Structure 1
Amino acid sequence: MSNIRSYIEDYLKHEGYKLQQFSEIADINVGTLSAIIKGTRLMSMNQLDQITSAMGLEQGYFYEMYGVECFIESAPHWRRLEPFLYLCAELDKLDIIQQVITHVTDDQSYIDELFNVAESLYNKSMNEAALILYECVADSEKYQHSERLALCQYRIFLLHKTMSKFDNLNAAVKFEPYIDKLNEEVQLDAIKDLANVYMTIDLWDKVDAWARELERRTEFQLEMQSRRRKNKRRLTAYPLFTYAAYANLLISSVYGTRKEYDKAINYLQKYMKIIEIENPTEEDQNIIDLFKKWGEGNQYVFRIMVGQKSMIFPYLGYLEKNPEEILTGLLNILEASNQYGYNIDHVLKKFEHPINLFNTDFHNKDNYNYQMIDRGYRVFYYEMAKYQINQCNYSLGIDALLMCLDLSSSSKDDLMCVKCLDLYGEYRSEANETQMKKYKNVVEKLSLPTF
């Protein structure tokens, strides 16, 4: 079987190089190079890259062979394995990482180091490589109640989120039992992230329960904070008051979905009061400004939803000042218009350009969780379909409905698919030939579960 040494020997023979010549090209000591070729010395990653470059090959050409020779067929050495993992991650050679790590984790002595590399890759946003390491460490963890295992499961939960609501539900359910094993401060971020996932899949009872738990645990941490030394390193992603405010924002959103708008406004006022803190730092002020923006927008929304049509005009001004809120804002106005029979053609005309950019690469997605944006598009087009149909603009309504059906199919949102199929069935006679053909094409791709 070919190995790296035989490749080097064949190359030297083919190119007619003496060992001394090639050692100068590769910038490796001739004695070292001779020992590598004879197999009496293992090469480092740096030497491998130098030899690969000297042979005119792309970096990483020999990594699969190197992984087998150094870490599978031979006893692995961490001094070589660590840089190998980082370089494979940088070059996106994930299959090689998986192959090597599967063998390496048989030795429990490497678990600590592998976890540290996973954390480093995670912090560098090299998420796919980090996920491989987290999963291997979690599978190899002997102590099922360890904080390290819980942190691995937390990272896996964050990295496993997909556009499928069922995948996200499974990930959330699997992660829940590990929350109590995390550091008490880290638990706040974990609960926030868990509640956000339940929000994207419309499990509002779960959002409510975890939001109240977040509020309870934050109150405990705030009490503990007053007793700690002030220079203790913070483990939460945000200042503690953020979590108290966010818990109440979530509860306000829950009541909003239940159409209990008086309660929604009460919790809105509560989180607006929480952010009134003395002597805020620059970080604090940025968070305060964000909650103030959300609070202003939500006050308009809740009043529009109880039938105060006059609030639409100032809300439009708010959306113009905060273009990242346009998707959510137009969705809210559409829902209200469908409930109360408002004509909002002037609103749709005013925001025609951003609407045309929805669901394209030009739309700014930076300020939202991508699952929330995807869900927002689906609901937006469904409400748009209802609105246009209510206005007897059947062609526009069916176009929006087909867009919603297509997005829901791609996101495996079966409930929304069923709603689209029902609405289309009701107005099938209004569809033109092009729309009927598109409907047929989308339906053929559907794989709805049978009951």
Structure 2
Amino acid sequence: MSNIRSYIEDYLKNEGYKLQQFSEIVEINVGTLSAIIKGTRLMSMNQLDQITSAMDLEQGYFYEMYGFECFIESAPHWRRLEPFLYRCAELGKLDIIQQVITHVTDDQSYIDELFDVAESLFNKSMNEAALILYKCVAGSEKYQHSERLALCQYRIFLLHKTLSKYDNLNAAVKFEPYIDKLNEEVQLDAIKDLANVYMTIHLWDKVDAWARELERKVEFQLEMQSRRRKNKRRLTGYPLFTYVAYAHLLIASVYDARKEYENVLKYTEKYLEIVEVENPTEEDQNIIDLFKKWGEGNQYAIRILLGQENVIFPYLGYLENNSEEILTGLLNILEAANQYGFNIDHALKKFEHRINLFDKDFHNKDNYNYQMIDHRYRVFYYEMAKYQINQCNYLLGIDALLMCLNLSSSSNDDLMCIKCLDMYGEYRSEANETQIKRYKSVVEKLSLPTF
């Protein structure tokens, strides 16, 4: 196997450089450079990058060789390993990190340092590299009840969230046993994150259970806070009142999913009361404003779902001022219209341009929250199909239905596919030639389960 020294020697020979000339170009002392080439001295990361640049090679060109020579073939030294890990992370050399770390973690003496690097990378959003280190540290942890192992598992859980509900469910189930081993303050964020994952995959009993556990644990922390010294560093991501309010918001979401709307209003009012904080800091005020915005929107939504048609106009005004709520808001209005027979043509006309952009928005799959948004798009188009068909706008209704069927097929939502097929079967005589072709095209791609 070629080594870095032989590459340098060949380069000097091919370019006709004397050692002194090259040392001046790379700005490394000639004696140091000579020792590196002879193999009597290992080069630092900085020296390696200087030599690589002087040879007009891409950054990280020698990293795989360097990793083998310094950390696998030779006994690793933390003074070289730490900057190597950071540079590999910066350049996305994940395979090299994995190769080196797998070898290095055979030596338990580096576990503390590797965990610290993982935390640093995590805080810098170098998530893929951090995940490699967290997995190695977790796999090497001797004490299965240690807080560090639990924290590694928490980070792995956060970094493992994907667009697949099955992957997320698996990650959540694996992480659950470690929550009680985390620091009691960190547990609040962990429970919040766990409940959020269960919410995206609509496991409402799980959301309810963890929301109530969050409420119980934060009440204990609030009691402890009154006894702590004032300058103790906060370990939670947010002020404590946030978690009480969020627990109630989660419970309200559970009742919403169960269509127990009076209870939704009850818990919405609860979290709005909680965020009435005296003398709020700037951070507090930002959180208060967010909950008040959510509360206002949720109150409009629930009242319209309870059949209060007079709420539609103020709700539309709210949506105009909070564009990120338009999809959810219009879905609520459509569901109410279909249940109570409201005419909402004016609402659909008002947001016609925004609705036309939904298809583009749908393809922005940049994070795991896409799962929840994905579901809302499917339901939106299904409810739109029902509404337009009820209004005898059959072509518009079938267009919306075909959009729902296409999205449901792409998302493997078999139940929604079946609902779309049933509705299309009922109104197929109203479809035009183009719609019939679109329907056949989508159906050919379907692979529904047989019962």
For 1:283-432, list aligned pairs within 5 A: 283-360=283-360, 369-432=369-432
CA deviations on 1:280-325 (whole Å, 9 max, x unpaired) are 1111111111111111111111110011111111100111111121
Following superposition, the deviation at residue 374 of structure 1 comes to: 2.9
| C-alpha deviation, 1:99, in angstroms | 1.4
Instruction: Verify the 8 A CA contact 1:164 1:412 in the aligned structure 2.
Output: no
1:357 counterpart letter in structure 2: L
One-letter code aligned to 1:324: E
Cα pair 2:307 2:336 within 8 Å, conserved: yes
Match of 2:50 in 1: 50
Which moved further from structure 2: 419-428 or 269-278? 419-428
Q: How far off its partner does 1:64 sit?
A: 1.3
Amino acid at match of 1:59: Q
1:66 counterpart letter in structure 2: Y
| Number of aligned positions between the proteins | 451
Give the alignment's TM-score, normalised by structure 1. 0.93
Q: Which residue pairs with 2:257 in the alignment?
A: 257
Report how far residue 387 of structure 1 moved.
2.4
SS at match of 1:381: helix
TM-score calculated relative to the size of structure 2: 0.93
The within-5 A match list for 1:5-404 is 5-360=5-360, 369-404=369-404
**Most deviating of 205-214 and 396-405:** 396-405
- 2-structure distance, mates of 1:168, 1:450: 26
Q: Give distance in 1, aligned partners of 2:120 and 2:321.
A: 38
Deviates more, 1:336-345 or 1:19-28: 336-345
SS at 1:403's partner residue?
helix
Query: What is the rounded CA distance, in whole Å, between the counterparts of 1:187 and 1:152 in structure 2?
Result: 13
Amino acid at match of 2:372: M
CA–CA distance in structure 2, aligned partners of residues 414 and 110 of structure 1: 49
Counterpart-to-counterpart distance in 2, 1:138 and 1:443: 46
Output the CA distance in 1 between the equivalents of 2:156 and 2:368.
Answer: 20
Q: Cα–Cα, structure 1 residues 49 and 108, in superposed 2: closer, same or farther, change >3 Å? A: same
Whole-Å separation in 2 of the counterparts to 1:430 and 1:171: 46
Residue type of the partner of 2:188?
L
CA distance in 1, matches of 2:225, 2:406: 49
Hey, what's the Cα distance between the residues in 2 that align with 1:450 and 1:73?
A: 56
Distance 1:259 1:219, change over 3 A: same
- Between the aligned partners of 2:443 and 2:103, the Cα distance in structure 1 is 45
Q: CA separation of 1:32/1:279 partners in 2, compared to 1, >3 Å: closer, same or farther?
A: same
Structure 1 unpaired stretches of 5+: none
Given that residues 255 and 263 in structure 1 are in contact (C-alpha distance below 8 angstroms), is that contact kept between their aligned partners in structure 2?
Answer: yes
CA distance, structure 1, for counterparts of residue 345 and residue 22 of structure 2: 74
Task: For 1:432-451, list aligned pairs within 5 A.
Answer: 432-443=432-443
What CA distance in whole angstroms lies between the structure 2 residues aligned with 1:419 and 1:113?
55
Q: Secondary structure, in 3 states, of the residue corresponding to 1:76?
A: coil
Aligned equivalents of 2:398 and 2:423: distance in 1? Answer: 9
In the alignment, the residues of structure 2 paired with residue 367 and residue 103 of structure 1 have an alpha-carbon distance, to the nearest angstrom, of 32
Q: 2:155 is paired with a residue of what secondary structure? A: helix
Greater CA drift, 10-19 or 377-386: 377-386
Structure 2: 5+ residue stretches without partners = none
- In structure 1, distance between residues paired with 2:88 and 2:254: 44
Is 2:188–2:243's contact at 8 Å kept on the other side of the alignment? yes
- Offset from partner CA, 1:140-173 (integer Å, 9 cap, x none): 2111111111111111111111111111111111
Change in CA separation of 1:361 and 1:307 when aligned onto 2, cut-off 3 Å = closer
Note the C-alpha offset of 1:388: 2.7
